[in-house]
Chain A
Amino acid sequence: MLKQPTPETAPLVRKRVSDPLPVQILLIGLMLLFFIGFIFLPLGLVFAQAFQKGWSVYLESITESYALEAVKLTLTTVAIVVPLNAFFGVTAAWAITKFNFAGKAALKTLLDLPFAVSPVIAGLIFVLLVGSRTPFGSWLGEHGIKIIFSTPGIVIATLFVTFPFVVRELIPLMEAQGRDEEEAALTLGARGWQIVGKITLPNISWGLLYGMILCGARSIGEFGAVSVVSGHIRGQTNTVPLHVEILYSEYNFAASFAVASILVFLALLTVALKVSMEKKFQKNSSHH
């Protein structure tokens, strides 16, 4: 790795002292006030509530069997959703960035569509498609396949909600990298899968990982869409966020926040990973 100033620190060096000090203090103070009200207080509250009845209750709440079942279901969902959307992301980004075809812009817009859809609608559409009261759904039901109010429903609703995350990271990255290296590999006798495996994937590995982390974080936390298709059956179709909701609505606040604290921890981890990977990105891009 070459030692170069990262783009982040470089402009700081020549940055002028801008506003007068009182203005700076005022603005920083206002921002801190906002952060306290909207970030720190909620975060602090989660842990305060989670531990209000002490460690033992906390541990019990997060190791109780329904909680563990919820964790298992959430992990299952993530384990299915992230690879599927990651594979799709790579495939779609390959098609879009390595070839020219009519309708490319329209296709890119379609890929972003799930972002514009309310989570509740994301759940609704699958109820309308494969719910037990629809023709397709009842046909499936006759053949013993249940989607809505069971795990497959949770998985496809989550697939929909997190659909754009990976592909959105990859397209700009691969567009910037161009096709030169792939073409060079081609002239050197490489086959399709060798090009993808040895050239393209290593080149996009960080972007792919980044997209997968965002996709994973959202899969863990998705509430609205999953809430519609889940059926809220404890121990069966309850994901971690749904479990938090149920405990909360039963006024079991300590347990609810205890489980929520796991999610907060994961969110903080995601944010930390995001920051460290962005640094990595900048270092990599400063080489080329």
Chain B
Amino acid sequence: MGIELKNITKKFGGYTAIDDISLNVASGELVALLGPSGCGKTTLLRIIAGLELPDGGKIILEDKDTTNLPPREKNVGFVFQHYALFRRMTVFENVAFGLKVLPRKARPSGTEIRDRVEHLLKMVQMEWALKRYPSQLSGGQRQRIALARALAVNPKVLLLDEPFSALDAKVRQELRRWVRKLHDDIHVTSIFVTHDQEEALELADRIVVINKGRIEQQGTPQEVYDHPANAFVYNFLGNVNVFHGRVHNGKVTLGSHRVDAPDEFKNTEEKASQAFVRPHEIGISRIRSSEADLEGTIQEVRLMGGQIGLNLECEGFEHPIEAEIPRDLYINLQLSRGDKVFVSLNRVKVFTGDYAI
């Protein structure tokens, strides 16, 4: 096992930042910690790296209990949210730092260090920047140097704190794919933090969704996306329409409509519930295809790359429903603002309980 966390707890004063988190990461796995701002992602990462001490629990790296080891002895590579490059050192010196501070016996020779640094810089495609200072690099370039620096010491575990958050959308995409490829090449056990669900879904072998210092769900991107464990996870992963209603005997009330509830609600008593439908799982047609279809009016049409976003006003619904349909369909149906259409809600996901967004 690469990383094992057992019942980690961390309090800041009276505030519980990490609340009894247990987590296993297999060797060579790339795991995403996903959660809203302030949920404790950075804190958890810092605890693993030894930069913060947990109030309770155990941290086991490669089958060795490292809970009370200082960061120096943990052999963890950490890429900071704002890079934390050494501003008075060149790129070369930055990357070589971890090797140069090794005890004399373990320290490689000058040429070995040079070769290793050059190899790493080539890997992150920054070999040309050897003599530059961090202030002379762009954000994305600094990010790569930070990565190379962390990898220089052959860490057992690589931790990345929001590695792409300070970058613009395009660079972000590129670097994300590049990191995935890099990970496939070197296979170091890695955890990265993000609050961007798209990033987590695309990059990770496994996603761990965190909220308020607790794990809400973990699983492969597919599992988490298709079978969210609760309303929070469903809501956090992607755009969603939320309907507050009641569930009773296999039927959910949505606005003034009733639709079939998923099987597990067959025989329930009447309960407050929330129903979720993702915009792209809303069907639009010119003709009624089933009893359950709603009648709606197109209020707004938005161009969203390959998709078209529609705001639909449906009678009996307080808020407009958001839908996304492929561009082709939009053209075929010859839709425009003010048109009346039939709306079908597919794959309605129902959660009971009083989760509030």
Contact = CB atoms under 8 A, between A and B. Distances in A.
Given A189-B153, A191-B72, A203-B88, A287 B135 contact: yes
Given A187-B49, A198-B97, A180 B135 contact: no
Interface in A8-34: none
Given A180-B82, A287-B135, A288-B135, A186 B87 contact: no
B86 to A, nearest CB: 6
A184 interface: yes
B86 A187 contact: no
B135 A2 contact: yes
Contact of A186 (B71, B135, B150): B71
Contacts of A288: 87, 135
B333 interface: no
B62 to A, nearest CB: 16
A184 B152 CA distance: 13
A186 B85 CA distance: 13
Given A187-B49, A188-B97, A189-B153, A202 B72 contact: no
B51 A183 contact: yes
A189 B135 contact: no
A203 B149 contact: no
A199 B86 contact: yes
Given A188-B97, A189-B153, A190-B72, A202 B88 contact: yes
A189 B97 CA distance: 9
Given A188-B149, A191-B72, A183 B84 contact: yes
Q: Is the interface of B mostly helix, strand, loop or mixed?
A: loop
A184 B84 contact: yes
B336 to A, nearest CB: 48
Given A180-B80, A180-B82, A202-B88, A188 B136 contact: no
B107 to A, nearest CB: 11
A268 to B, nearest CB: 31
A191 B82 contact: no
A203 B80 CA distance: 18
Contact of A187 (B78, B89, B102): B78
Given A2-B136, A184-B80, A189 B101 contact: yes
A199 B84 CA distance: 11
A2 B152 CA distance: 28
A188 B72 CA distance: 7
A187 B51 CA distance: 8
Which of B71, B150, B153 has the most C-beta atoms of chain A within 10 angstroms of its own C-beta? B71
Given A180-B80, A191-B72, A185 B102 contact: no
A198 B89 CA distance: 9
A185 B70 CA distance: 12
A157 B153 CA distance: 50
B6 to A, nearest CB: 22
B76 interface: yes
A181 interface: yes
A187 B77 contact: yes
Interface in A168-211: 180-181, 183-191, 194, 198-199, 202-203
Contacts of A199: 86, 88
Nearest to B93: A198
B80 A188 contact: no
B28 interface: no
A210 B102 CA distance: 33
A191 B98 CA distance: 11
Contact of B72 (A181, A189, A203, A287): A189
Contact of B98 (A181, A188, A203, A287): A188
Contact of A191 (B101, B136, B152, B153): B101
A158 to B, nearest CB: 32
B97 A185 contact: yes
A201 to B, nearest CB: 9
Contact of B86 (A2, A185, A186, A191): A185
A190 B87 contact: no
A189 B72 CA distance: 4
B141 to A, nearest CB: 14
Contacts of A181: 84-87
Contacts of B51: 183, 186-187
Interface in B60-117: 70-72, 74-78, 80, 82, 84-89, 97-98, 101-102
Interface of B: 49-51, 70-72, 74-78, 80, 82, 84-89, 97-98, 101-102, 135-136, 149-150, 152-153
12 contacts: A180-B82, A181-B86, A181-B87, A183-B51, A183-B80, A184-B149, A186-B70, A188-B149, A189-B72, A189-B75, A202-B88, A287-B87
Interface of A: 2, 180-181, 183-191, 194, 198-199, 202-203, 287-288
Identify the 8 closest CB pairs spanning chains A and B, nearest first. A188-B98, A180-B84, A287-B135, A202-B88, A184-B84, A187-B78, A190-B101, A186-B71
